[in-house]
Structure 1
Amino acid sequence: MSSPQLPRLGRKPLIALVERANRALQTDMVRRAHADGHTEVKMAHNSVFGTLYSGGARAADMAARAGITRQSMGEVIRDMVALDLLEMRPDPDDRRAKVVGYTEHGVEVASDGRRHLIELERRLAEEFGEREYDIARDVLERLVDVLDRFAAEEPHETQAAGTRRT
C-alpha cells in the first residue's frame, strides 16, 4: 500500500516558524518569571499578561485580543485569581459584567515580565540591528492584518478542515 504524497513546500512552513518563535518567546517569559521567584506562573498565563492592561479589562475583550475562546480565557483567569495574581470586580458600566485587574502581587509579577520584555526587545534589536528588527516586527504585524483580511473575504459557510474547494 503506497502512502499518499503531500505537496512539497520546499522550505519550513511559515506556520511552523511562527509557532516555534511563539513557543520560544512564551517559554522564555515563564522561565524568567520562575527565575525571578514567581514559580506560580504557567505558560497559559501568558494569554492574560499579554492582553490585560493596567486599568483592567473584561474577559471577553482579553479573549478576543489573545485569539482564544471566552471559556479558555475564563479558565486561565480563574486559575490566576486562585494564585492571587488577579481579582475580579463589578464593571462600573455594566453591573452584570466583571472587570479583571491585577492584585498587588499580580502587578509585581506583570511588572517584572514587562521589564524582561523591554530588555529582551533591546537584546533582539542589538542582535539583528535596529532596522532589521523593526522590519521583522512590522512584517509580523502586517501578516496578522493580511490574514485577518483574507479570513474576512472567505465565504461565510464553514468548511470542514482539509476539504478542497471546487
Structure 2
Amino acid sequence: MSRVNLTRPDRKPLIALVDRANRALQADMVQNAHRRGHPEIKPAHNSVFATLGENGARAADMAARAGITRQSMGEVIRDMVDLGILEMRPDPEDRRAKLVTYTEHGRWMAGRGYQHLIELERGFEEEFGEQEYATARDVLARLVDLLDQWATTETAASEAAASG
C-alpha cells in the first residue's frame, strides 16, 4: 500500500489564524462577563448574543446565522430563559412561531458585552494603529464577501448540473 504525500502550507493557514482569533475573542467575552460578576455566562451563550437583534428573532433564524443546529440553539435559548436573560413570546407576524427577545436584564447584559467589544476594538486600534487595524478589518470583510460569493456560485453550478 502506497502512502499519500500530504502537501502542507508553508505557513499557518488563514483558516487556523481566523479560528484561533475567533476562539480567543469568544473566550474573552465570557471571561469579561465572569469578571463583571456573571459566572453563569457560558461560551455557548455567545451564539445567542451574536445573533439576537434588538427586536428579537426566531430561534431557527438565529441557529442559521450562528451555523449551529436548531436543536443546539434551542438548548442554549432554554438555558438563557432559565437564567432570566431571554424570554419567548408569540411572534406577532406568525402566532404559531415564537420570538426570542431579551429581558431587561438580558438587554443590560448584552449592552455590557457590546461595550466590551467597543473597548476591545479601541485597544486593537491603539496596538496596531488606526489605519492598520482598519485595513485588517477591511480585508477580513472582503474575504467573507468573496467566500460567500464563491459558495453561491458553487451552489448554483451544482444545482444547474443536477437539474440539467
Q: Same-fold call, TM > 0.5?
A: yes
Q: Normalized against structure 2, the TM-score is what?
A: 0.89
Pairing 1:156–2:158 present: yes
Q: Normalized against structure 1, the TM-score is what?
A: 0.88
The residue that corresponds to 1:161 in the other structure is none
The residue that corresponds to 1:103 in the other structure is 103
- Native 8 Å contact 1:38 1:109 kept in 2: no
Over residues 102-151 of structure 1, what are the superposed CA-to-partner deviations in whole Å (9 max), with x where a residue is unaligned? Answer: 11221221111111111111111111111111111111111111111111
Figure out how many residues of one structure are paired with residues of the other and give that number: 157
The residue that corresponds to 2:75 in the other structure is 75
Alignment partners' CA distance in 2, 1:42 and 1:35: 13
Identity within the alignment, %: 71
1:16-165 counterparts in 2 under 5 A? 16-154=16-154, 155-156=157-158
SS in 2 for 1:96: strand
The residue that corresponds to 2:162 in the other structure is none
How far apart are residue 64 of structure 1 and its match? 2.3
Q: Where do 4+ consecutive residues of structure 1 move more than 6 Å?
A: none
Give structure 2 stretches of 5+ with no counterpart. Answer: 160-164
Alignment partners' CA distance in 2, 1:83 and 1:3: 53
- Native 8 Å contact 1:86 1:100 kept in 2: yes
Alignment partners' CA distance in 1, 2:87 and 2:68: 20
Alignment partners' CA distance in 1, 2:75 and 2:18: 25
Query: One-letter code of the match for 2:65?
Result: R
Query: One-letter code of the match for 1:71?
Result: Q
SS in 2 for 1:6: coil
Give structure 1 stretches of 5+ with no counterpart. Answer: 158-166
Alignment partners' CA distance in 2, 1:64 and 1:156: 21
Alignment partners' CA distance in 2, 1:105 and 1:5: 55
The residue that corresponds to 1:160 in the other structure is none
